[in-house]
Amino acid sequence: MLLDTYGRVATDLRVSLTDRCNLRCTYCMPEEGLQWLGKSDLLSDDEIVRLIRIAVTHLGITEVRFTGGEPLLRPGLVGIVERCAALEPRPKMSLTTNGIGLKRTAQALKAAGLDRVNVSLDTLRPEVFKILTRRDRHHDVIDGMAAAREAGLTPVKVNAVLMPGLNEDEAPDLLAWAVENEYELRFIEQMPLDAQHGWKRDGMITAGDILQSLRTRFTLTEEGADERGSAPAERWLVDGGPATVGVIASVTRPFCGACDRTRLTADGQVRTCLFATEESDLRSALRSGAPDEEIARLWKVAMWGKKAGSGLDDPSFLQPDRPMSAIGG
């Protein structure tokens, strides 16, 4: 069990498979990209599967989310999913992706055992997508989401970040489109995880702003805390349901008290929080021949030291040096 000093138990593992990405989203990284991890720094496929096996069989992990960077850029992704699907007990498995490449991989991922996908899409306007991501790939994302739905990787969840002056007016249109296409939309407040450290609280689009915009067109009925559980998104029924919309308000409505996550970076570091400034090294233990029990012990020690919250409201808050692409969302 991955227990911390505040009584929280981590059952949800986020695994970053690569720090590389084929987009250059303005809220994540600079246009020229970043200094990527070297191949020897990355965990191998065997090392990733071993750590997931330890997490599932020794530490009580029941859900695994593959992230990046962009996880579809990982050559061995389908094999990793297939091997993890064979674990006993079998964890629930999902993938967070920008959607580029899903059209050609959705069927194979479903056959390997992946349960569902989260796809990032911030706008319905191709010209705005090009500004936000610095790439002209909007149609690929739309096609990828449709392919995921057709392959049965459902529910397909859509993650959207609203940015001032670019797409802040699109919340109602995004929700109408998601409902029509049977996708589950989640708005995410922009977080201080950009490589440029350009995030500013002043002027960001908040959960309150998003809900106010949505209510100009829809009736929203809050589901309540019992339905939410440890999920990061507050959810509302749209026009009485069954469709829902969620808001992940990491900045203005933090949900740290119910957090059930542990994170593994692409280079084998345990992170207790997206906003943590410290990491615990499992890669060295793996490569020095440590047995499963020792790796499990190191993981437990790391999680025992998890802080009460993200610290975003603390005047002394320091943005992590590693950006979202290196941490895994």
Which SS3 state, helix, strand or coil, does residue 188 take?
A: strand
Handedness of CA 42, 110, 271, 324 (dihedral sign): positive
Query: Distance between CA atoms of 192 and 275, rounded to whole angstroms?
Result: 8
Say if residue 273 carries a ligand binding annotation.
Answer: yes
304, 4 Cβ separation under 8 angstroms: yes
The annotation status of 157 as a binding-site residue, yes or no, is yes
Alpha helices (runs of H) in 18-170, residue ranges in sequence order: 45-58, 77-85, 102-112, 126-133, 138-151
27 is in an annotated binding site: yes
The DSSP secondary-structure symbol of 314 reads S
183 is in an annotated binding site: no
**What residue has token string 């949900």?**
255
Q: Cα(14)–Cα(71) distance, rounded to whole angstroms? A: 12
CA 218, 223, 225, 227 torsion-angle sign: negative
Tell me how far the alpha carbon of residue 250 is from its chain's centroid: 13
Report whether 125 belongs to an annotated binding site: no
263 annotated to a ligand binding site: yes
Query: Is there a binding annotation on residue 262?
Result: yes
Backbone φ, ψ for residue 286 (5° rounding)? -55, -50
Per the annotation, does 310 bind a ligand?
Answer: no
Q: Is 90 annotated as a binding residue?
A: no
Find out whether 33 is annotated in a ligand binding site. no
d(CA 25, CA 323): 12
- Is 84 a known ligand-binding residue? no
Longest dimension (CA), the chain: 59
Handedness of CA 122, 175, 117, 143 (dihedral sign): negative
Which residues contribute to the annotated binding site for [4Fe-4S] cluster?
A: 21, 25, 28, 256, 259, 273
Which residues contribute to the annotated binding site?
A: 14, 21, 25, 27-28, 65, 69, 96, 120, 157, 191, 256, 259, 261-263, 273
Which residues contribute to the annotated binding site for S-adenosyl-L-methionine?
A: 27, 69, 120, 191
Which residues contribute to the annotated binding site for GTP?
A: 14, 65, 96, 157, 261-263
